[in-house]
Amino acid sequence: MNIWIYTLASVTIISLVSLIGIFTFSIGREKLRKAIVFIVSFAAGALFGDALIHLLPESFEEIGSSLTVSLLVLLGIIFFFILEKFIHWRHCHVLESEKHLHPVVFMNIIGDFVHNFIDGILVAGSFLVSIPLGITTSIAVILHEIPQEIGDFGVLLFGGLTFRKALLFNFLSATTAIVGAALTLFLGSYLQEKILYLLPVTAGGFLYIAGSDLIPELKHETKITASIGQLAAMILGIAIMALLLLFD
């Protein structure tokens, strides 16, 4: 019961992050543009930290075979690459930029449905292994969702949707995380040992997202003060994941 409560609470919070679009335009686009770079840096650090400090050590301990874990990490990287290339699951973390080719609105929504469903599976799978691991994975997903949802909301608006419709579709696509989590929890008793193999796959996915989706966004800013701020935010994200070891 505790696992259900923790999991559903986590994916509900993850889904509610999609409503962040309500606040994005109240603070001004220029201020948001400056702030989001540091949010992305923080999220990248959290994803790297969760993958390398929590998920992979747990994977090696529970699964045992280093070769199996390594292959599953590679599987996670390839799986997320396939999502990005063939389902057009490509999330831009800036509101608008000529350097990015935004997908059409329909494909963006479909991509979000798939992506959030998988997030729900990964979060539930982590909670089935242990509650502390589920918490760290949920935090990493939430931190990644914040800049992603801001970017997705902007894409929907620029694609021609009204403010209300963009908010509605963004929220509906986010709720598939709850569906993915519930499905995983229902099947958990039938997949007890196999659920462990989700951990290195999740780690591979987090490494792919942080390395190919978030880090490239940070390269556009070359000013030394901003770059130092990005580095500090990334280290802070890693440090928080390291501090969460105290709850293990």
> What does the DSSP assignment read for the chain?
-HHHHHHHHHHHHHHHGGGGHHHHTTS-HHHHHHHHHHHHHHHHHHHHHIIIIIIHHHHHHHH--HHHHHHHHHHHHHHHHHHHHHS------SS--TT--PPPHHHHHHHHHHHHHHHHHHHHHHHHH-HHHHHHHHHHHHHHHHHHHHHHHHHHHHTT--HHHHHHHHHHHHTHHHHHHHHHHHHGGGSTTGGGGHHHHHHHHHHHIIIIIIHHHHTT---HHHHHHHHHHHHHHHHHHHHGGGG-
Would residue 15 count as lying in a domain?
no
Would residue 51 count as lying in a domain?
yes
The pTM assigned to this predicted structure is 0.71
Give the domain extent around 133. 28-247
Domain count, the chain: 1
Tell me how far apart the alpha carbons of residues 36 and 218 are, in angstroms, rounded to a whole number: 10
Range from 15-24, 101-110, 139-148 carrying the lowest mean pLDDT: 101-110
Neighbours of 57 (CB within 10 A): 14
C-alpha of 3 from chain center? 20
Of 169 and 157, the structure prediction assigns the larger pLDDT to 169
Q: What percent of the chain has pLDDT over 70?
A: 77
Q: What percent of the chain has pLDDT over 90?
A: 11
Would residue 189 count as lying in a domain?
yes
Instruction: List, for residues 104-131, the tens digit of each pLDDT value.
Output: 466 667 767 777 888 888 898 888 888 8
Would residue 176 count as lying in a domain?
yes
Would residue 143 count as lying in a domain?
yes
Would residue 13 count as lying in a domain?
no
Indicate whether 195 pLDDT > 90: no
Of 17-31, 43-57, 148-162, give the range with the top mean pLDDT: 43-57
Give residues with Cβ within 8 angstroms of 201, minimum separation 6.
72, 73, 75, 76, 79
Mean pLDDT, the chain, rounded, equals: 79
**Mean pLDDT (whole number) for 67-74:** 94
Would residue 130 count as lying in a domain?
yes
Residue 93: phi and psi, rounded to 5, are: -105, 25
What confidence category does residue 26 fall into, taking pLDDT thresholds of 50, 70 and 90?
low
Of 211 and 24, the structure prediction assigns the larger pLDDT to 211
Would residue 8 count as lying in a domain?
no
